[in-house]
Amino acid sequence: MLAIRRFCAKSLVLLLLAGFAGLFLNPGPAVAQGDLVRVDAKGPVDVRADKVFYNERNATYTAEGEVEIARGDNRLIADRVTLDANTLVAEAEGKVRLITPDQVITGKSMVVDMQNGTGKIYQGRVFIKTNNYYLSGNELAKTGKDTYRVKRGTFTTCEGADPAWKITGDDMQVTIEGYGTAKNTAFRIKDVPVLWSPYLVFPAKFKRQSGLLAPDFSNSERDGFTFSLPYFQTLGEDMDATFTVNYMTKRGVDLGLEYRYNLAPGSKGSFMIDYLPDDGMGDELFKEGKNAKPYNSRYWFRGMADQKLFGGVMDMKVDIDLVSDQDYLREFVYGYTGYDASNRRLSRWFGRILDPNTSTVRTNKLNISRFWSAASLNMGLLYYDDTTGNNKTTLQQLPTITFDATTQQLGDSPVYFAMASGFNYYYREEGSTGFISDIDPTVSLPLNFNDYLEFEPAFTWNQRFYAVDKAASDPADTKSNGTLEQWNFTAATSTYLYRVFDFGSQDDPFKIKHGLRPTVNYSYRPGTDESDVADIARRDQTLQNEFFYGFQNTLTYKVMSTNPDTGLVEPTYREFLRFNIGQTFDLATYREDKDARYWGDVTGRLEFLPTDKIYFLSDVSWNLYDNEWTRLDFLVEARDDRGDAITLDYRFTPGGVKQLNTRLKVVLTSEWYAAFSNRQDFDNNTTYETRYALGYEGQCWGFQAFYADDTWQRGFFFAFSLGGFGELLSVRGF
């Protein structure tokens, strides 16, 4: 006789949990419409269902109606669950979902062997959250904790029922944190097969793993056909390395190595080196006049590091940039180990950049700093690598030490004190060297006359100590050691005026405050005769006796707006315009020759930033005697919420720079964009660089193509990427 009774004991839940704990994941917390049943099966377990029955004849338990079994962060949800008490095989039917922190498994039905943690999902799909991976098929077999097998399945990282791309194949086997394999595979865009392969291996790794990265192909008249292949190697949780082979048919093999570590917050480093042992185009490029020398062996070593020292008390920063010759960085700009990519990676990680690739002097420095509330200490090395010739004559600072005290009040007196000091050892292999130490204390007396007038006189003493090892080329009658004394006096006078203009109403207030600060400054420094001092120790400070007058203007608006965090209506202030104008009067020149040019250029600076998305900056100067501009610099930056952006940067100095830099990005759709950049010199009628770019950034794939034309080379670049895989293929041509 069939006996059916409502289940309310521990046995069903225990069996269910024992199975699910060993299956896809550990079962966990539940939410449903029926009564909550909580049992202790190696941890709290919640079970909800509209009905739970037990069949004594078949020894099976059946839960029906919005069944949910939860333990911790893992949940099994279905319309119906049946468990065989003898075999511990569970069957789930109707909108089956197994949800874990890392995966979501869905299907029409599911059969589970609870003893060994295996099972099958029918008309199912496995979603792996980390890299947005989807694995689906009519019959998916879970063959282990992290392994799946599909007779005929699909794989993609695209969302939706109709993915933009997918890989289909037979006998598909996937190991999480390993690789997937498939036979008779096809790469499809929508449902159209594009590529076919009898066998395919694809990564299913979501943590840092060693392996080959995307190759790079290019072809150029200068380099020939180029093939670059990077290999990524993990060296633990906090460090890794990338080894790159760059094969160029005309130039030979270039070997690249990048080492990275990230030990703790504020303690990280990245160092890169490229080595081309024998440049096959060295002689030819020299004969064509494209390179300064017939280079053979070439290299580039660069890197940066930040390090916390002594428990975070001190900070160390290291910048390294050593290159074999002055033409290397001009030639090797693109590619994974080129200048652009190297500088971009360092800038993103450290917030510092390399010297421009057109600079022939490369800066290398090490700095250790310590900061207090009223002082700072910096100790380091400063080495310049001059690639144009004999670097033995370049002055290096090994070491350089500075100790500075910020302006601070002396006791209860009205007098304030500040100090700048430094010690340098100037070294070079050929030429004079020596020790130079400077101590520059400053005392000032800021005075305020009832907020109508501010006046601050300041006196600075400049003391220098030097000991120089003169070279044979230095004049014999100059001193090699001694002291130099100098002083200067400054006086700053200013006042502050403002007026508030009300342009709004009581319901919609809008006010603008105009602030005006007129200033008159005086500075005096006596000239000193240092002709009897060794060249390396001279300061070459001439007589200074001049006045400066100017006006500083600011405009600040006030509006009432809703705080997005609190929802409260609060006043919002923004200083949206700054305009400064000033001029110097050289009293020393006026006294010496009243017909001389004792008025300096009129200088002006304007900043306009009405919103976070619009910025305008202009620096200009005007010569009163020649009635001409001596400087015209304009910078305009604008962007919108879509991502459109434009930058115009114009620079002009008479007989010098007359250049316009343009950058433009237009968002064509939510996924497509176009970009343009140009660097034009109007004085020489030369276009230094022009780039056109077109890109697509979809949810699960993208590409970028750009054409570059500069004074050294021209060509195109194309990169294609699939979500979850990164850049799969890039092609360049010049």
Closest alpha carbon to 626 in 661, 648, 599 = 599
Residue 162's φ and ψ, nearest 5 degrees, are -120, 80
pLDDT, tens only, 675-716: 999 999 887 788 888 889 898 888 888 877 778 777 666 667
For the ranges 258-272, 502-516, 547-561, the lowest mean pLDDT is seen at: 502-516
Q: What is the DSSP letter of 556?
A: E
Tally Cβ neighbours within 10 Å of residue 669.
8
Contact 730, 214 (CB under 8 A): yes
Closest alpha carbon to 387 in 482, 291, 305 = 291
**Residues with Cβ within 8 Å of residue 232, at least 6 apart in sequence:** 209, 210, 211, 212, 213, 240, 241, 242
pLDDT, tens only, 82-122: 877 777 677 889 989 888 787 888 999 988 776 666 788 99
- Specify the pLDDT at position 674: 94
What six digits make up the tokens of 424?
A: 């340098």
- Specify the pLDDT at position 48: 79
- Report the C-alpha gap between 624 and 600 in whole angstroms: 8
- Report the C-alpha gap between 665 and 677 in whole angstroms: 9
The CATH number of domain 4-204, selected from 3.30.70.260, 3.40.47.10, 2.60.450.10, 3.40.190.170: 2.60.450.10
Three-state DSSP class for residue 592: helix
Question: What does pTM read for this prediction?
Answer: 0.73
- Specify the pLDDT at position 145: 73
- Report the C-alpha gap between 7 and 17 in whole angstroms: 16
Map tokens 């999480």 to a residue. 176
- Specify the pLDDT at position 67: 86
For the ranges 53-57, 549-553, 583-587, the lowest mean pLDDT is seen at: 53-57
Rounded to a whole number, what is the distance in angstroms from the first to the last CA of the chain? 86
Which residue(s) pair with 52 in the sheet?
A: 63
Residue 344's φ and ψ, nearest 5 degrees, are -65, -45
Map tokens 């539940």 to a residue. 30
| CATH code 2.60.450.10 region(s) in the chain | 4-204
pLDDT, tens only, 213-230: 767 777 777 888 888 888
**Nearest 5°: CA angle at 53, between 47 and 55?**
135
